[in-house]
Chains A and B, each alone.
Chain A
Amino acid sequence: MKFLRPTNIRSRLALWFVAILSGVLLIYISAVFVFQYVLLQRQIFHDEIQDVETVEGLLYFDQHGSLQLEQGYHTHQQSRLLEDRLMEVRDLAGNVLYRTDTLKGATLGDTALPDEGVHSYNERSTMLADGTRVLLISHIHPVQGKPVLIRLGYSMAPLHDRMLHFFFLLLLATPIALLAAGFISYSVARRALRPLASMASRAEQITASNLHDHIAIENANDELGHMGRVLNHLLERLQQAFAQLQRFTADAAHELRTPLASIRSTGEITLQQDRTHASYREAISGMLEETTRLNQTIDGLLLLSKAEAVQTETGPTSFFLPELVQEILTLLEVLIEERQITVLEEHQNTIDEPLVADRSLMRIAILNVLHNAVKFSPDRSVLRIAYGKIEREGPIFYRISIHDSGPGIAPGEHLRVFDRFFTSSAHQGRGPRGSGLGLSIARLIIDRNGGHIYFEENVVNGAKCCIELPISTKKSKSN
């Protein structure tokens, strides 16, 4: 059977439909058959009772004392031959008093049952000596004052013949019905699945360059329409990701090119004429500084790709966030002191649960944010770090906010600051240039850990960066 297994959905659907239909038909036919059989049997018993009642009136003892059946009611004597009823009359001692010719001398049932024919007709089936199955009833009736046991029956052979005919008729109709059903279901399935074929051919034509082409949807409300919508959303996301990647590649090329151009022009200009020893030194130093910048950009890009891959080398460990922040503050202490920045730490809630995350990546993320805050803080200003808890649709998040008193974030740039190589138009030329990747890296790491990072809008003074991280999800689930 295996090699006949159909590969396309519509044949499979049709086949399933036919299989189920034939199962249902089988059950239905069996039920009808049994019902009909029982019904006909009941009808035969009913007729037999009618017959017994009629025969009772026709029985009489002749002058020799033997029991006879009145035959005078037949208008045509040939009609007698039509009678196929089997009848036997016995006296209560069990001696056979009368037997129809149709029995051909066989007995209709053996010894009398206890109380046979007294209270009921004892409807039953029995087998004659020649193997014929007979439906039989019994009744006791007094003939000329003498009670006799009348047994009357019909052979089941005609019933069986009729049932067999009926069965063959059904059997003949079934394959025709199944064939028709199979054909109809096949064509209906083909009709229903036609949009799938058109979607497939459309999807085949979509490549990286025409991701904006959408799949046509015939009926938006059915399952295929739903799938089409899902595919279109997928295409949209792919298109966005692709556009982002293209923009990123262009930005990265630009970011790598700028220091390269600077190195190149420094070298070219320096070699244009003979210079003093000191000026050569100066040029080479400048070139080396640019290589440092290049190197930092490349390291940042590598870190981004590393954080983007879900697995990291160290894996998650559990640790306490304030402890990590302290460690970072110690690292930045010298900058904070130099600029006379006051760091105020505020614990809004007590949090006992540790964070579960890759500590080294989390450290990079928070270091980038804190370093940024320190960089943009004016001298002798205040940097506020607040720890708290926040509940967002069930899971509880650890929340740390870092609020500096710097120039803040220009309106409309609250999201764009996380873009790779983003430099705010407002901050250009201020202080040493970073790689422009710090906040992107921070966001990627926080996102990967199921958290959120954002700059709060409507902050009057400075910028307020909030980081929310889920508290040990395993623990909160078991609680």
Chain B
Amino acid sequence: MHATSTISGRILVVEDDRRMADSLVAGLTGKGYQVSLARTGEEAFFLVHSTQPDLVLLDLTLPERGGLEILAQIRAEQLPTRVLVLTSHNSVDDRVTGLNSGADDYLGKPFSFPELLARVASLLRRFPVPPRSASLQIADIHIDTKAHRVSRSGTLIDLTPREYDLLLYLLEHRNQAVSREMLAKDVWRETSRFTPIDNVIDVQMARLRRKIDDPFNIKLLHTLRGVGFILQEPE
């Protein structure tokens, strides 16, 4: 849990769009993963067997063999590989087809890279998620998850339930960028992709910052313009 950003693993990226593939490889390599790339279904089949990846990032629309076919093959051979499906067809039908044929997770294009990283990290966790520890900490912020109490430098901070959830989520993704899409989906539990709550998130974030950061000298919660937010240990 605490070292999600440094987890290592073999990832096979199956993506036919050159630019998309290049940025995926670059982004994942930058996070310390061993990444191989297949541009066609045939290549993907070969690499699945030769490199035995822990995770396959699978584009469903591929030349030669379709992504679903590869997925079915991986599942038929009972390979111990996790599969994260990436596609630009964002209808629910695709999602159901993808998950039914054995994908472990599903992400629609265009996705935010922080979200992809979070999904990849959670899929690569070999073990079931450990029970949330009774207390979480970053720098001098301390969360008592049983009593739902938050304090910084010993000062008790009064948070609304939403602010508490938000802080908890940021803390669980510490040192990782968190996009507004991720927050909408995971903290606000908005299922629709067209729900205009970006400014709700921004205002909520500003209020949280006012409580946990403003009275203190060292700032932990940062806005990454165009990306999202990050709760970061001071360097």
Are the CB atoms of B196 and A438 closer together than 8 Å? yes
Are the CB atoms of B194 and A335 closer together than 8 Å? no
**Residues of A contacting B130 in the complex (Cβ-Cβ under 8 angstroms):** none
A299 at the interface (CB under 8 A from B): yes
A332 at the interface (CB under 8 A from B): yes
Interface 1/0 per residue, B86-108 and A, CB below 8 Å? 00001010000000000000000
Identify which of B2-10, B24-32, B118-126, B220-228 touches chain A. Answer: B220-228
Are the CB atoms of B199 and A302 closer together than 8 Å? no
Are the CB atoms of A303 and B192 closer together than 8 Å? yes
Are the CB atoms of A300 and B194 closer together than 8 Å? yes
> How far is the CB of B162 from the nearest CB of chain A, in Å?
7
**Residues of A contacting B90 in the complex (Cβ-Cβ under 8 angstroms):** 302
Are the CB atoms of A332 and B200 closer together than 8 Å? yes
Given A313-B92, A334-B162, A335-B203, is A434 in contact with B196 using a C-beta cutoff of 8 Å?
A: yes
Interface 1/0 per residue, A405-440 and B, CB below 8 Å? 000000000000000000000000000101101100
Given A299-B193, A367-B196, A371-B196, is A334 in contact with B225 using a C-beta cutoff of 8 Å?
A: no
The range of chain B's interface size is 20 to 34
Are the CB atoms of B195 and A367 closer together than 8 Å? yes
Given A334-B204, A335-B203, A338-B203, is A285 in contact with B194 using a C-beta cutoff of 8 Å?
A: no
Are the CB atoms of B110 and A295 closer together than 8 Å? yes
- The B180-201 residues at the A interface (CB cut-off 8 A) are 180, 188, 191-200
A441 at the interface (CB under 8 A from B): yes
B148 at the interface (CB under 8 A from A): no
**Residues of A contacting B149 in the complex (Cβ-Cβ under 8 angstroms):** none
> How far is the CB of B149 from the nearest CB of chain A, in Å?
21
Are the CB atoms of B207 and A288 closer together than 8 Å? no
Interface 1/0 per residue, A270-305 and B, CB below 8 Å? 000000000000101111110110011001101100
Question: Which residue on B lies nearest to A284, using beta carbons?
Answer: B226
Given A332-B200, A334-B162, A335-B200, is A286 in contact with B226 using a C-beta cutoff of 8 Å?
A: yes
> How far is the CB of B90 from the nearest CB of chain A, in Å?
7
**Residues of A contacting B180 in the complex (Cβ-Cβ under 8 angstroms):** 292
> How far is the CB of A405 from the nearest CB of chain B, in Å?
19
**Residues of B contacting A292 in the complex (Cβ-Cβ under 8 angstroms):** 180, 198, 226
Are the CB atoms of B110 and A291 closer together than 8 Å? yes
Are the CB atoms of A368 and B226 closer together than 8 Å? no
**Residues of A contacting B110 in the complex (Cβ-Cβ under 8 angstroms):** 291, 295
State A223–B191 Cα separation when bound (angstroms).
53
Question: Which residue on A lies nearest to B207, using beta carbons?
Answer: A334
Are the CB atoms of A331 and B193 closer together than 8 Å? no
Interface 1/0 per residue, A366-401 and B, CB below 8 Å? 011001000100000000000000000000000000
Are the CB atoms of B225 and A338 closer together than 8 Å? no
**Residues of B contacting A295 in the complex (Cβ-Cβ under 8 angstroms):** 110
A196 at the interface (CB under 8 A from B): no
A360 at the interface (CB under 8 A from B): yes
Interface centre among A300, A367, A437 (most CB of B within 10 A): A367
- Tell me which of B188, B191, B198, B204 contacts A360 (CB under 8 A): B191
State A435–B198 Cα separation when bound (angstroms).
12
A364 at the interface (CB under 8 A from B): yes
- The A151-206 residues at the B interface (CB cut-off 8 A) are none
**Residues of A contacting B198 in the complex (Cβ-Cβ under 8 angstroms):** 292
**Residues of B contacting A432 in the complex (Cβ-Cβ under 8 angstroms):** 199
State A405–B192 Cα separation when bound (angstroms).
29
Are the CB atoms of B207 and A338 closer together than 8 Å? yes
**Residues of B contacting A434 in the complex (Cβ-Cβ under 8 angstroms):** 196
- Tell me which of A299, A300, A334 contacts B203 (CB under 8 A): A334
**Residues of A contacting B193 in the complex (Cβ-Cβ under 8 angstroms):** 299, 302-303
State A296–B198 Cα separation when bound (angstroms).
11
> How far is the CB of A442 from the nearest CB of chain B, in Å?
11
Question: Which residue on B lies nearest to A372, using beta carbons?
Answer: B196
- The A298-327 residues at the B interface (CB cut-off 8 A) are 299-300, 302-303, 313
- Tell me which of B192, B204, B225 contacts A289 (CB under 8 A): B225
Interface 1/0 per residue, A230-250 and B, CB below 8 Å? 000000000000000000000
State A375–B200 Cα separation when bound (angstroms).
11
State A302–B94 Cα separation when bound (angstroms).
15
The 10 closest A-B pairs by CB, nearest first: A288-B226, A285-B225, A285-B226, A299-B194, A303-B194, A289-B226, A299-B193, A334-B204, A334-B203, A313-B92
Assuming A291-B226, A292-B198, what are 12 further A-B pairs, CB within 8 angstroms? Answer: A285-B225, A285-B227, A296-B194, A296-B196, A299-B194, A303-B192, A303-B193, A332-B200, A334-B204, A334-B207, A364-B194, A371-B197
Can you name 8 A-B residue pairings with CB atoms under 8 Å? A296-B194, A331-B197, A331-B200, A334-B200, A338-B203, A363-B192, A367-B196, A435-B196
